[in-house]
Structure 1
Amino acid sequence: MDGKSFSGRTRRRGLLLSGGLALTVAAATLTAASPAQAQYGPYTCASGLVWREAVSGDRVCVSPQWRTKTWEENRLGPSNVQPGGGAYGPDTCKQGFVWRETRPSDHVCVDPRSRADNRLANAHAATGYANPGQLPANGTHASWTQYGSRLAVSPAHLTFQGYEPGRGYHSQMGNYGSSYGSRLVTPQNCRQSSSRSMYVLAVDVTTGTVSNAGRVAVPLCLYP
């Protein structure tokens, strides 16, 4: 099933990966889906992208060529397994191949470049969706601290970045310490915008799963 696509004009930038495939990421305002397109739910991909589908439930958005390559890897994977197993058990790969690891359970044996590319795709997964504000929370949360001077996000082991409607994606947020299981992503005495807000997107880079930690005032110390 394709995770595509929302209509409307979307400015985009391409990230050329070592394996020669392009991971295209959204860079501006995205528009609402038509009823026919909405069938793919909150994880609907931005126009031109589809779900990778390396394993069941894999909704990282990539180019159609990337998904075709992924399906071919799944087909050929068993032929790249070491007969009789080896040091890593029955899924040990033949020499020259490694586990793809789009998530820890993905033991399809592939070229090392494929694993590197897919790890990068996981890290950038937040930028592939048509409407980031509709992504589910999945237990993530973002809020300004008690005195409104620092932005905290949780859980702390995830990576976070902002998406501001009308302005697009901001760079990955920083790490300025932790507090009660949350990560402080702004320095002390950071000023909040009184007119701009953004969604905080959380990415589990081990699986490429993206969550919406909530909408908060834009931290002006991080973003212009």
Structure 2
Amino acid sequence: MGGKNFSGRGRRLGLLSSGGLAFAVAAAILAPSSPAQAQYGPYTCVNGLVWREAVSSDHVCVSPQWRSKTWEENRIGPSQVQPGGGPYGPDTCKQGFVWRETRPSDHVCVSVQSRTDNRRANGNAYTGYAHPDQLPANGTHAYWTQYGSQLAVSPSHFDFHGWEPARGYQSGMANFGSYYGDRVVTPRECRQSPNRNMYVLAVDETTGIVSNAGRVAVPLCLYP
């Protein structure tokens, strides 16, 4: 297990549970590194956040309270399975419960609100890491097209976000067409910054896995 940093506080709080408790999804302002963080590798969480650990290798960073709730859901989940199974097979949940689906394989039966919260946590997972520049590529890629006029990313079905060390996270990457099967995320004739660079973070919302698609010049049409 890893990412268990309990010192400090996450600076970005959100996602209310059905009970109204506020859980930290991610920290928008990165904390400095420390020996305690370094031992958990590239997916080390910012201070105050820990790995969710809904399933094996679940490294989405959440508050300690959220992880405790997740462990409790894992413990009581079997009691919320329909005896004898049902239309969704042996893991069919009792009425009122649904699969949590932090990963496609996550069939723990939880409340509808818990599934909604965890899906949102997957989408926001890119903000929870202490060193986004150290995340592995995992087959993702970001690059300026042949004539340097548009920024392209792959695979096209992931969500992509910019992280500029001096300015933090940047949003605004939309779909402006395709380039040899990859998605173009800037409009035509977008200028590259001559002196600013950023990392492009790829988010697989179905698993919460975040990857570093590469370091590129900042597109000034998106982030002046």
Q: The TM-score by the shorter chain falls in which range?
A: over 0.9
Q: Distance in 2 between matches of 1:62 and 1:4?
A: 10
Shift of 1:29: 4.4
| Aligned residue identity for 2:118 | N
Measured at CA, do residues 82 and 122 of structure 1 come closer, stay the same or move farther in structure 2, by a change above 3 Å? same
Return the letter of the residue paired with 1:16. Answer: L
* Residue 147 (structure 2) aligns with: 147
1:162 maps to 162
Match of 1:59?
59
- Identity value in percent: 73
Q: Secondary structure of 2:171's match?
A: strand
C-alpha contact 2:10 2:26 (8 A) present in aligned 1: no
Letter in 2 for 1:137: A
Which segments of 5 or more consecutive residues in structure 1 lack a partner in the other structure? Answer: none
Give how far 1:32 is off: 2.9
Tell me the distance in 1 between the aligned counterparts of 2:77 and 2:172. 34
2:130 is paired with a residue whose SS is coil
Cα deviations across residues 113-135 of structure 1 (Å, max 9, x unaligned)?
A: 00000000000000000000000
Aligned to 1:49: 49
Question: 2:13 matched to which residue of 1?
Answer: 14
1:51-200 alignment runs, 5 A limit: 51-200=51-200
Contact 1:80 1:93 in 2 (8 A): yes
AA matched with 1:23 = A
Amino acid in the other structure paired with 2:209: T
RMSD of equivalent CA atoms: 1.8
The answer to whether the 8 Å contact 2:201/2:212 transfers is yes
User: Structure 1 residues 162-171 or 202-211, which shifts more?
Assistant: 162-171
* C-alpha contact 1:6 1:37 (8 A) present in aligned 2: no
Q: Which residue of 2 aligns with 1:28?
A: 29
Task: Output the TM-score relative to the length of structure 2.
Answer: 0.93
Alpha-carbon separation, structure 2, partners of 1:50 and 1:43:
10
Output aligned runs, 1:207-218, within 5 Å.
207-218=207-218
Q: Secondary structure at the match of 1:118?
A: helix
Equivalents in 2 of 1:33, 1:214: separation in Å?
24
1:4–1:133 Cα change, 3 Å: farther
